[in-house]
Chain A
Amino acid sequence: MASTGEIVHTTGPGTGEGAQALERTAAEPYMNPYLAGIGLGLVLLAAFVIMGRGLGASGAVNSLVAWMVSLVAPAHAQSNGFLAEYVGDGSTHPLKAWLVFEVLGVFVGGLLSGLLAHRAALVVEKGPRVSAGTRLLMAFLGGAIMAFGAALARGCTSGQALTGGAMLNAGSWATMMAIFGGAYAVAWLMRWQWR
C-alpha cells in the first residue's frame, strides 16, 4: 500500500508516510482499534440503557427519502408500503426521527474527532491507479447499492451488524456474516480501485 503522490493519510499507527499536502500539522495516527472499539461499545451500551435501542444510519436515509417523496408526491409516499412507515401519519414531520438526529450527531462527532487529530482535509480517498472522477462515481454507486441493501436487510452495518450483534439478535448475525461474505466476494473484482 505505498502512497504514490496521492493525498493519502496514514493508514495506521507508526507510519509517517501519508502526504499532508493540504495540512500544516501532520495527521495524528488513529486510535488503537481495541480502545476505539471499547469507546464505540460504550456509546452503543449507552444507547441501549438510555433509549432501549441501538445505533443506526440507513434508517435516517429512508426518513429523508420519505420526506422528499412526500413533498413531491404526498399520495404516492403514503401509498408506498415501504415509505409510508417513515412518512408517518402526518402528526410529526418525517425528519423528526431519532435516527435523523443521531446521524446529525455522527457528522458533528466525526468532524470533532477529525479536527482534533488534524485529519480534516478536502481530499478524495482512493487507490493509486484510479482517477478521482472514477472514484467519486464508484463512491456514489456504492452509496446507492448500500442503501438498497440496507433497506432490504432492515438495517446496515450499524443497525444490524453492530447493534444486533451486541444484542445477540440471530437475524442480525446472519446479516453480519452476509455483509462480510459479500464484501470478500467482490474484493478481488474491485481491487483496481484500491490497490
Chain B
Amino acid sequence: MNTPLFKYGAFGDETSLVVAFVIGIGFGFFLERAGFGSARKLVSQFYLNDLAVFKVMFTAIVTAMLGVTYLAWMGVLDLSLVYLTPTYLWPGVVGGLVLGAGFVVGGYCPGTSVASMATGRLDGLAFVLGLPVGALAFAELFPLLRGFYESGYFGVQTLPVVLGLPHGVVVFLVVLIAVGGFSGASRLEKRFGGAK
C-alpha cells in the first residue's frame, strides 16, 4: 500500500471533503474529551495550575511523529508527499507571539473555539465570531504587511536538516523532551495547582 492515499490517487477531490469532515469529527471529539472546549481549562496552562494543554499537545505530536516515522521506515508512507508549510521565520515568530497573546485574551485557539461553541460555550461563540474580523483586518492590511509576511524565507525546512542530525535522532530527542516535559509539568501542577 502506498500512502498518502490521496496523493496516490486513491480518491478524488470530492471524496477528500468527506474525509475532511470525518477527520474533523475525530479532531473535535478528542479536543472536547481533553477538556479543550473549556477556556478555563485551556488558560490554566498559562497559570501553571493545569498543564493538560502541554501534555495533550505533546502526546499528540509524539504519537503522530512516531507513526509517520515508522510508516516511512516501513516504506508505506512517502514523507516527501506530506505537505509542509514553508518556513518564513519572522512572520512565523511574530505571528506566533500574537497567537499566544490572543490565546490568553480570548481563552481559546481557532480549533478549540469551534469545539467549545459546539458544547454551548457562549464565550466560544464570541471567539468564533471574532475570527473573521481578525482575518479580514489582516487581508485589508495585507498590502502594507506583504513585505514582512514574505520575510525570513528559508523554504521547507525540517529540524533534522536545520540541526544537521539524522531524522531518527531528532525523533528520539523530541520524545526525550516530551517525557522530561511531562514530568516537569506534573511537578509544576503540584506546586501551583492549589485547590484544583
Contact = CB atoms under 8 A, between A and B. Distances in A.
B48 to A, nearest CB: 9
A193 B65 CA distance: 36
Interface residues of A, number: 132
Contacts of B158: 167-170
Nearest 4 A-B pairs (CB), nearest first?
Answer: A142-B106, A105-B24, A182-B100, A37-B59
B99 A138 contact: no
A6 to B, nearest CB: 10
Interface string A30-50: 110110111111111111111
A43 B23 contact: yes
A145 B132 contact: no
Interface in B122-150: 122-124, 126-140, 142-143, 145-146, 149
Contact of B122 (A43, A54, A123, A176): A123
A55 B26 CA distance: 11
A113 B33 contact: yes
Contacts of B113: 143
Main secondary structure of the interface of B (DSSP, over half): helix
Interface residues of B, number: 132
A5 to B, nearest CB: 15
B105 to A, nearest CB: 4
Nearest to B22: A105
B180 interface: no
Contacts of A96: 17
Contacts of A1: 40, 44, 49, 194-196
Nearest to B86: A171
Interface in B91-119: 91-119
A184 B192 CA distance: 15
Given A142-B107, A164-B84, A135 B123 contact: yes
Contacts of B95: 149-154, 175, 178
Interface of B: 3-7, 16-35, 37-41, 43-47, 49-50, 52, 55-65, 67-68, 71, 77, 81-89, 91-124, 126-140, 142-143, 145-146, 149, 154, 156-162, 167, 170-171, 174, 182, 194-196
B178 to A, nearest CB: 10
Contacts of B87: 169-171, 174
30 contacts: A11-B41, A11-B196, A34-B182, A37-B59, A45-B68, A52-B4, A55-B111, A61-B131, A65-B139, A106-B24, A110-B31, A110-B116, A111-B28, A114-B32, A122-B122, A139-B108, A142-B127, A143-B131, A146-B130, A147-B130, A148-B137, A158-B109, A165-B61, A166-B68, A167-B84, A169-B85, A172-B92, A178-B92, A182-B98, A194-B107
A106 B115 contact: yes
In the complex, which of the residues B50, B112, B122 has the most CB atoms of chain A within 10 Å of its own CB atom? Answer: B122
A17 B143 CA distance: 51
A92 B122 CA distance: 33
B23 A12 contact: no
B116 A174 contact: no
B120 A48 contact: no
A168 B159 contact: yes
Interface in A36-82: 36-58, 61-62, 64-66, 68-69, 80-82
